């Protein structure tokens, strides 16, 4: 599995042509306590850079953007019952959705973990 990050603070873990998407630990720390998450339904087509999900916290509501284009295969149903998973496990159990990659070439513009950490230090 390869892990990538966006400047919008999404992470994407890629295994073959399947990817899992969530928000970074940095993003959840900026949001504060997450109280609601809306994830895309299976079969939804998402487009790189476009809104794919919504996360609401006690501070604000934010869009979650698709880091790549593809077809959603699963939304994380656990977040409906327990949105705080985003706070406690942002980069593991708090994932938002899984998708099948439409174009693996879209991964080329994303950051690796070291690049993302360096980016966050500039904020």
Q: Which residue has the tokens 């990050």?
A: 5
* CATH number of the domain enclosing 52: 2.40.50.100
CA distances from 75 to 41, 85, 90 (A): 6, 14, 15
Residue-range definition of the domain harbouring residue 95: 2-121
pLDDT for the residue 122:
97
Instruction: Tell me the DSSP string of the chain.
Output: -EEEE-TTSEEEEEETTEEEEEE-HHHHHHH-SEEEEE-PPTT-EE-TTSEEEEEEESS-EEEEE-SS-EEEEEE-THHHH-TTHHHH-TTTTT--EEEEES-GGGGGGSB-HHHHHHHHHT-
pLDDT digits (tens, 9 = 90+) for 7-51: 999 999 999 999 999 999 999 999 999 999 999 999 999 999 999
Nearest to 76 by CA among 50, 2, 84, 48: 84
Q: Which residue has the tokens 């949105």?
A: 83
pTM: 0.96
pLDDT digits (tens, 9 = 90+) for 53-101: 999 999 999 999 999 999 999 999 999 999 999 999 999 999 999 999 9
Domains contained in the chain, number: 1
């Amino acid at each position: 599995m390869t892990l990538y990050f966006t400047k919008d603070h999404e992470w994407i873990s890629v295994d073959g042509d399947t990817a899992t998407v969530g928000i970074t630990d940095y993003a959840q720390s900026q949001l504060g306590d997450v109280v609601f998450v809306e994830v895309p339904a299976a079969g939804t087509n998402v487009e790189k850079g476009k809104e794919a999900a919504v996360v609401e916290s006690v501070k604000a509501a934010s869009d979650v953007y698709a880091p790549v284009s593809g077809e959603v295969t699963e939304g994380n149903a656990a977040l409906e019952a327990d949105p705080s998973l985003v706070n406690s496990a942002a980069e593991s159990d708090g994932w938002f959705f899984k998708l099948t990659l439409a174009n693996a070439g879209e991964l080329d513009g994303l950051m690796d973990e070291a690049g993302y950490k360096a980016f966050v230090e500039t904020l």
